[in-house]
């Protein structure tokens, strides 16, 4: 397999996961915006690290709606859903021969459908339906990958991209929202706003999961624990980094070699695996998550170096 193939699959995984996470985040936020204070727009902008861009968009009209268009439809925003799907699709197109027809057809189908809707009249474009389409179809694509792709090195790179992106997304959502809800990072300062905590869980699709695990009222510390440390929650930071480590080990076995990326993946995984939520709050949640996110970024660079992806 070529390094460029590994690179395309890695980025296809990242972009697709990015589109999926963004869609879920927006869907959750929109629903919550209907029943609470209306600070959601600024919150999302912060999650995407786009406070400045948002201020510019904001001057042009309604706050949440314009932000959503920016995050969903704007082709000039490289992280918008439309741009991410386009990027994933062009990575996939270059690797058509390393993907199955099922994966390609489901991704190409999403891209064609998005294109068709975007070419239509924007005034009557149903944003909600479009976001739902992206969520549903990206599940289909990942599902197709899981049930049809050969379990070889190519698959490992696709998984690496998807899980690194997903882990980073969850860490970012938790980090930003926690700071908004609990200024200073102390979970006891939160005015137990049910809707706000439920929204945070909804961003990773885990409201019901929370109920099943804790069988209790929404509690900031437990929410943080679920999103960071629960290995059995597929969008938790721990689960994602576990999967990253697993795929790195499989690659090391295939290639018979290990490097800095392997060390870092193992270390990150261990950090999440053996952490206790109380300790994290002693260190400071923001500090802990900041460290994790920084190391995820470093790991991504190291993967590029180690496998000649750059």
Partner 1 sequence: MAVKAFDEMNSGTGGLVRAPYRGVADWLARTSPERVAATRHEVDLFYRRNGITFGAYGAVDGHETTIPFDIIPRVIAWDEWDFLHKGLVQRVKALNAFLADTYSTREICRAGVIPENQILMNAEFVAMAQGLALPGGIHAHIAGIDLVRVGEKDFYVLEDNVRTPSGVSYVLENREVMMRLAPELFSAMRVLPVANYSEELLATLRSVSFSDEAAPNVVLLTPGHFNSAYFEHAYLADEMGIELVEGSDLFVDEGRVYMRTPRGPQRVDVIYRRVDDAFLDPLEMRPDSFLGVAGLLGALRAGRVNIVNALGNGVADDKSTYTYVPEMIRFYLGEEPILSNVPTWRCDRPDDFKYVLEHLSELVVKEVHGSGGKGMLVGPTSSKAEIEAFAGFVRARPDNYIAQPTLALSTCPTFVAQGIAPRHVDLRPYVLSGRKTTIIPGGLTRVALKEGSLVVNSSQGGGTKDTWVLAPEAGAGG
Q: In the complex with partner 1, which residue's Cβ is closer, 1 or 180?
A: 1
Question: Could you tell me which stretch among 38-46, 52-60, 97-105, 213-221 binds partner 1 (CB under 8 A)?
Answer: 97-105
The answer to whether 230 and 201 are in contact (CB under 8 A) is no
Residue 51: both structure tokens together:
């406070």
| Integer Cα distance of 207 and 201 in angstroms | 5
- Contacts of residue 293, defined as CB under 8 A and 6 or more positions apart, other chains included, come to 168, 171, 172, 175
Task: Tell me if 270 contacts partner 1 by CB under 8 A.
Answer: no
Task: Tell me if 155 contacts partner 1 by CB under 8 A.
Answer: no
Task: Tell me if 96 contacts partner 1 by CB under 8 A.
Answer: yes
Residue 94: both structure tokens together:
């270059």
Other beta carbons less than 10 A from residue 13's beta carbon = 25
Question: Could you tell me which stretch among 34-42, 74-82, 191-199, 251-259 binds partner 1 (CB under 8 A)?
Answer: 251-259
Among 37, 39, 143, 255, binds partner 1 (CB under 8 A): 255
Touching partner 1, residues 5-44 (CB under 8 A): 5-6
Report, in Å, the least distance between residue 309 CB and partner 1.
8
Task: Tell me if 100 contacts partner 1 by CB under 8 A.
Answer: no
Reported as type and span, the H/E element at residue 119 is helix 101-119
Chain-centroid distance, C-alpha 234:
12
Report, in Å, the least distance between residue 2 CB and partner 1.
5
Reported as type and span, the H/E element at residue 147 is helix 127-148
To 10 degrees, what angle do helices 285-306 and 153-181 make? Answer: 160
Among 31, 63, 93, 127, binds partner 1 (CB under 8 A): 93
List residues binding partner 1 (CB under 8 A).
1-6, 90, 93-94, 96-97, 101, 104-105, 108-109, 112, 153, 157, 251, 254-255, 257, 307-309
């Amino acid at each position: 397999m070529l390094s460029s193939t590994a690179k395309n699959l890695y980025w296809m995984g990242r972009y697709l996961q990015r589109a999926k996470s963004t869609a879920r985040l927006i869907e959750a936020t929109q629903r919550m915006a209907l029943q609470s204070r209306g600070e959601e727009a600024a919150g999302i902008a912060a999650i995407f690290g786009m406070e400045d861009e948002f201020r510019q968009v904001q001057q042009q009209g309604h706050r949440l709606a314009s932000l959503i268009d920016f995050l969903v439809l704007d082709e000039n925003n490289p992280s918008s859903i439309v741009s991410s799907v386009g990027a994933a699709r062009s990575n996939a197109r270059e690797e058509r021969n390393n993907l199955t027809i099922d994966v390609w057809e489901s991704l190409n189908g999403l891209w064609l459908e998005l294109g068709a809707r975007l070419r239509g009249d924007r005034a009557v474009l149903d944003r909600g339906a479009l976001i739902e389409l992206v969520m549903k179809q990206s599940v289909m694509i990942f599902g197709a990958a899981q049930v049809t792709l050969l379990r070889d090195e190519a698959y490992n790179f696709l998984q690496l991209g998807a899980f690194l992106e997903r882990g980073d997304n969850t860490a970012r959502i938790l980090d930003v929202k926690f700071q908004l809800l609990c200024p200073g990072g102390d979970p006891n300062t939160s005015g137990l706003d049910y809707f706000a905590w439920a929204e945070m869980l909804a961003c990773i699709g885990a409201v019901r999961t929370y109920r099943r695990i804790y069988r209790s009222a929404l509690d900031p510390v437990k929410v943080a624990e679920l999103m960071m440390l629960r290995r059995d929650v597929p969008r938790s930071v721990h689960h994602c980094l576990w999967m990253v480590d697993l795929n790195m080990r499989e690659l090391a076995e295939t290639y018979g070699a290990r490097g800095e990326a392997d060390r870092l993946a193992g270390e990150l995984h261990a950090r999440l695996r053996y952490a206790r939520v109380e300790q994290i709050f002693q260190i400071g949640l923001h500090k802990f998550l900041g460290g994790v996110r920084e190391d995820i970024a470093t790991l991504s660079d190291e993967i590029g170096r180690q496998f000649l992806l750059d």
